[in-house]
Structure formats: structure tokens, C-alpha cells
């Protein structure tokens, strides 16, 4: 069985000590396709020492030179995007067209940080006395420990790497063990573009062991994690104990509010497209569809038509629109959510039963009349289930939308400017997208409130997270 050379430490690739390995599967067939070398604590020590040296060198490189290296990396990622996309699909399952968007789009994220890093201005504060200069400098925070998940192996990781490197930080990234190869190729592009040894290090391992080891280390000054709320809470607590700055991008349970004044067919088609993208395994995926009484039935019918029309199959087949889920845990979890919702009184309008055969497939599923005590209404489903519920007044739906501890993304559709403004103001959410899907561009902040996270990735906020502030007061 092929062992993937998975660790990049101090500019050298290796498969680790071969003491421990993880299995990598093709989710479309369930077949074991490779083994992944996992980092030992000795590997992590080497990565920490390399990141420390890398930081001391990289912070002295001018923002202008760093930007040139990052732009080269962006070009290489775009040139190699077909190969990177094929690896995303092979190990994570999403349809090839979605994987291509993810791989090609990574270049955009790198370009954005390359540009923004050159504009990391400080400021000058007028002094109280003549002859005093007061300057605020932004300095790179130091070596970063970053943890990225399997659902977007490239686009989750690239924001952390590009943000850290643009600011002048070094980074040790732990990629997702279930879909490692596209992360490896992403890091290879940075390396080939001229990122010096030790500045970018990539490891895979037993997640809890690696995060515990790195966050406790004196070398690490900043932690960035994308994943579930419980893990984020644990890593945030550890980072707090060691006073490490922290960015957490966690789960969501996005409301999708449809008012009775919209083009129902168009909104239902858009909603189904968003819902079933990447099999619903997206933190900003719409999960609770609240539809106003007068258009509820028409919306359900149009939404089910769109869901039923999706061709489910191996993501490597260009005609597939709904790939397998990333792992068997998701298939089991989705079946449990469906069974539980039906047991408490929901109706099944589409799907709801995993098929026979190989691979981790689950069909597009629509539940209607879902009671609030169904688990799927309060736990993040992270799969291809849409729960559709009626509402009458805007006040009622705002209360429902805000009733969960999550607050990542929210979507609302209306032709009324008053309603749109009220929803934008009242929804407790880090991101609100009205009358379209307008999230996740490199130049816009991406992050949640409440349990959905802490801080933002993307936008100038994303770069800010890698700087500290130094105030210099000088006479003469």
C-alpha cells in the first residue's frame, strides 16, 4: 500500500517515522487508497524548532518581497488546479466541478493576502508635547499552529497559510487526515514559489495529540482552528490557559428565510443548489428553511424538484452533482437525524434512506413540518438534509432564527427593503446574505458569533489576526 509523504518540516518532505499511519479512503467506493504517515512528538519538536527559525528569518523579509513569493504561489496553484481538484474529489468526494472551483479559487485567496500584506499600515498619533513621535506598528505575532478540516481541504487551509505568511509569521499546519493529498500539493506550491524552509510546515497526526502538543509549546503564539464547536471550545480553552491568541471558525445552523413576496421558484432552486453543494458538509450551509405561509407549499414542491433532479454519483464522473459524503460517520449521523425527526412528527418529502451499494452516499433529503424538538433543528446536520418549516410573521421567524447558540451564516429573501433591513439588523449572525449567496470571497470577513466562532478569516480582519500592536513613543 502506498504511504503518502505527508510531513513538510524545515523544507523536507517525509512520511514520518512509519510508527503510526492513518488510512485514507475513496468515499465513492469505500476503498482504502493509501496510508498516511503521522507525526510523532519528535517530528513535532522538529517542526517547532523549524517554525521558530523560519519566523526569525521571514519576519525580516520585506512585505514587498513576501508578496512576490505569495503571488508566485497563487499562480502555481492555479496552474496545478486540475491535479489538485482531482485529489480533492478522490479523497473527499465532492463533484469535480466543485473541487475545481475550490482549487482554482485558492489562488484568489493567496493573491488577496499578498496584496493586503503590503498595506498592513500602522499609524501616527499626534503627541501632547512638541518633539515627541508616537507611532503604532503592526508586527507579525509569531509562529502559528493551524488546524484545518476535511470538508474543504484546500480552501480552509489556504486562508490560514496565506494570512500567516503575508503578515510575516511562520506556520505549522495540521491538515485533515481523511483528505490529505490536496493539502500536500497546496503546500508544495508555496514551497516551489520560494517560501523558505521552516516558514511553512505541514503535519498530520492524531488530532488531539498534535493540538495539545503544539498549543502548549512556548514557540506557538497564535492558534487558528476550523471545525466543530466542541473541539473549538476545547482548543480555545487550552489557548486561553497558555494566553495564545486564537481564531475559531466553528459550526453553524444557518436559517434560510423566504418571505411571501419573492419569486418562489427561483429562490427554491437557489436554496437547493446551496443546500446540496458539497453534500451539505459546509459550515455556512442553509439548514433551517423558514418559509412564509402563503408560499410554503409552492416552495416545498419546487425545492424537492430541484433536489430530486440532482444526479448522485462518484464525483470523478463529470455528470455527478451530488457526491458521496466524506466518511461513514456522516452517513450514520444523517440517518439518525432523519429517523429522529420522523419519530417526533416531521414528514418526509424527499430521500431519507441511504441506498444499497458501495461508497458513503446519502441522497438529497427534505423534511417538512419539522418540530423544534427534532434534533436536526438544533444540532448542526452537516449533510444533505433540508428541514422546511412554516412561519407567519417576521417577528416570529426572527425569534426562531436566533433561538440557537449558533450564529455563523443567515440567508433571507424578500423584495421589501424594509423587511430586508429589519432582517439584516436583527439576525444574530456573523454573516447575513440577502437575496443571493454572497459569502466567502477572500476580501470579505468570514466568521461567526455566539458558539459559531471567535474572530474572522478573510477580509482585512483575517490579516489583522496575525499581527500584534507595538506602540513606539520617541523623542529626538
Q: Which residues are catalytic?
A: 249, 283
CB of 414 to ligand NAD, least distance (A): 28
Comparison of 63 and 234: residue with beta carbon closer to ligand NAD: 234
Indicate the length of the chain as a whole number: 476
DSSP 112: H
- The single-letter DSSP state of residue 379 is S
- Between 285 and 292, CB nearer to ligand NAD: 285
The residue behind cell 501616527 is: 124
Dihedral sign for Cα atoms in the order 277, 281, 283, 285: positive
What's the rounded Cα separation, in Å, for the pair 317 and 336? 29
| Cβ at position 221, least distance to ligand NAD in Å | 18
Residue closer to ligand NAD, measured from CB, 414 or 456? 456
Min separation Cβ 387 and ligand NAD, Å = 15
DSSP class of 69: H
CB-CB neighbours of 142 under 10 Å: 22
Grid coordinates given for 100: 475545481
Q: How far is the CB of 408 from ligand NAD (least distance, A)?
A: 8
Q: Which is nearer to ligand NAD, 108 or 177 (CB)?
A: 177
Instruction: Give me the phi and psi of 470, to 5 degrees please.
Output: -120, 130
- Give the count of beta carbons closer than 10 Å to the beta carbon of residue 206: 14
- What is the rounded distance in angstroms from the CA atom of residue 363 to the CA atom of residue 322? 8
Q: Are strands 171-174 and 144-147 parallel, antiparallel or unpaired?
A: parallel
| Identity of the residue, 186 or 300, whose beta carbon is nearer to ligand NAD in the bound complex | 186
- Comparing C-alpha atoms, which of 450, 458, 351 is closest to residue 410? 450
**What grid cell was written down for 278?**
458539497
Tell the residue number behind the cell numbers 503518502, with chain if given: 4
- For strands 12-14 and 7-9, give the pairing: antiparallel
In the bound state with ligand NAD, the residue whose beta carbon lies nearer, of 69 and 282, is 282
Quickly list H helices, 242-367: 264-276, 293-308, 328-343
Smallest separation, CB 373 to ligand NAD (Å): 19
Listed residue (191, 68, 203) closest to 146, CA to CA: 203
The residue whose grid cell reads 493586503 is 116
Q: How far is the CB of 400 from ligand NAD (least distance, A)?
A: 21
DSSP conformation class of 415: S
Distance of alpha carbon 459 from alpha carbon 446, whole angstroms:
8
> What is d(CA 119, CA 357) in angstroms, rounded to the nearest whole number?
54
- Measure Cα distances from 165 to 231, 383, 461 in Å: 25, 33, 15
- Main-chain phi, psi angles of 274, to 5 degrees: -65, -45
Q: Shortest approach of ligand NAD to residue 206 CB, angstroms? A: 9
Q: How far is the CB of 233 from ligand NAD (least distance, A)?
A: 10
Nearer to ligand NAD, 309 or 405 (CB): 405
Give the β-pairing of 453-454 and 431-434. Answer: unpaired
For ligand NAD, which is the closer residue by CB, 84 or 215? 215
Taking the complex as a whole, how short is the minimal distance between the CB of residue 293 and ligand NAD, in angstroms? 31
Characterize the bridge pairing of strands 254-258 and 286-292. parallel
SS3 35: strand
210 CB contacts (<8 Å, ≥6 apart)? 39, 44, 147, 174, 203
Site residues (vs ligand NAD, CB under 6 A): 147, 149-151, 176, 207-208, 211, 226-228, 231, 235, 249-251, 283, 329, 380, 382
Amino acid at each position: 500500500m502506498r504511504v503518502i509523504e505527508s510531513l513538510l518540516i524545515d523544507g523536507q518532505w517525509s512520511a514520518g517515522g512509519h510508527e503510526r499511519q492513518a488510512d485514507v479512503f475513496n468515499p465513492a467506493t469505500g476503498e482504502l487508497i493509501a496510508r498516511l504517515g503521522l507525526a510523532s512528538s519528535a517530528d513535532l519538536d522538529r517542526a517547532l524548532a523549524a517554525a521558530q527559525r523560519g519566523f526569525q528569518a521571514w519576519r525580516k523579509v520585506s512585505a514587498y518581497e513576501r508578496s512576490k513569493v505569495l503571488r508566485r504561489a497563487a499562480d502555481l496553484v492555479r496552474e496545478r488546479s486540475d491535479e489538485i481538484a482531482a485529489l480533492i474529489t478522490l479523497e473527499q468526494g465532492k463533484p469535480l466541478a466543485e473541487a475545481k472551483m475550490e482549487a482554482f479559487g485558492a489562488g484568489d485567496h493567496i493573491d488577496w493576502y499578498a496584496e493586503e500584506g503590503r498595506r498592513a499600515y500602522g499609524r501616527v498619533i499626534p503627541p501632547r508635547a512638541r518633539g515627541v513621535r508616537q507611532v503604532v506598528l503592526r508586527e507579525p505575532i509569531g509562529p502559528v499552529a493551524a488546524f484545518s478540516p476535511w470538508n474543504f481541504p484546500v480552501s480552509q487551509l489556504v486562508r490560514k497559510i496565506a494570512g500567516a505568511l503575508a503578515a510575516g509569521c511562520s506556520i505549522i499546519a495540521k491538515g485533515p487526515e481523511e483528505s490529505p493529498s490536496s493539502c500536500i500539493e497546496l503546500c508544495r506550491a508555496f514551497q516551489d514559489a520560494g517560501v523558505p524552509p521552516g516558514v511553512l510546515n505541514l503535519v498530520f497526526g492524531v488530532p488531539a495529540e498534535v493540538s495539545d502538543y503544539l498549543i502548549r509549546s512556548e514557540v506557538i503564539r497564535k492558534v487558528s482552528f476550523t471545525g466543530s464547536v466542541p473541539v473549538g471550545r476545547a482548543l480555545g480553552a487550552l489557548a486561553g490557559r497558555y494566553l495564545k491568541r486564537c481564531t475559531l471558525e466553528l459550526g453553524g445552523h444557518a436559517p434560510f428565510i423566504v418571505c411571501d413576496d419573492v419569486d418562489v421558484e427561483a429562490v427554491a432552486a437557489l436554496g437547493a443548489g446551496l443546500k446540496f453543494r458539497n453534500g451539505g458538509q459546509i459550515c455556512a450551509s442553509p439548514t433551517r428553511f423558514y418559509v412564509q405561509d402563503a408560499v410554503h407549499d409552492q416552495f416545498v414542491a419546487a425545492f424537492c424538484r430541484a433536489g430530486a433532479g440532482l444526479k448522485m454519483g462518484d464525483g470523478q464522473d463529470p455528470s455527478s452533482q451530488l457526491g458521496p459524503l466524506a466518511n461513514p460517520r456522516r452517513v450514520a449521523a444523517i440517518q439518525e437525524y432523519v429517523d429522529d425527526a420522523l419519530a417526533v412528527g416531521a414528514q418526509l418529502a424527499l430521500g431519507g434512506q441511504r441506498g444499497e451499494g458501495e461508497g458513503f452516499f446519502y441522497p438529497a433529503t427534505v423534511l417538512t413540518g419539522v418540530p423544534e424538538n427534532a434534533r436536526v433543528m438544533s444540532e448542526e446536520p452537516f449533510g444533505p438534509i433540508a428541514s422546511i418549516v412554516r412561519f407567519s410573521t417576521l417577528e416570529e421567524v426572527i425569534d426562531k432564527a436566533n433561538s440557537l447558540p449558533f450564529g455563523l451564516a443567515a440567508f433571507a429573501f424578500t423584495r421589501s427593503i424594509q423587511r430586508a433591513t429589519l432582517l439584516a439588523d436583527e439576525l444574530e449572525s456573523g454573516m447575513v446574505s440577502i437575496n443571493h449567496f454572497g459569502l466567502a470571497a477572500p476580501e470579505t470577513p468570514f466568521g461567526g458569533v455566539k458558539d459559531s466562532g471567535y474572530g474572522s478569516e478573510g477580509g482585512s480582519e483575517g490579516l489583522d489576526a496575525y499581527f500584534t500592536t507595538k506602540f513606539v513613543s520617541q523623542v529626538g
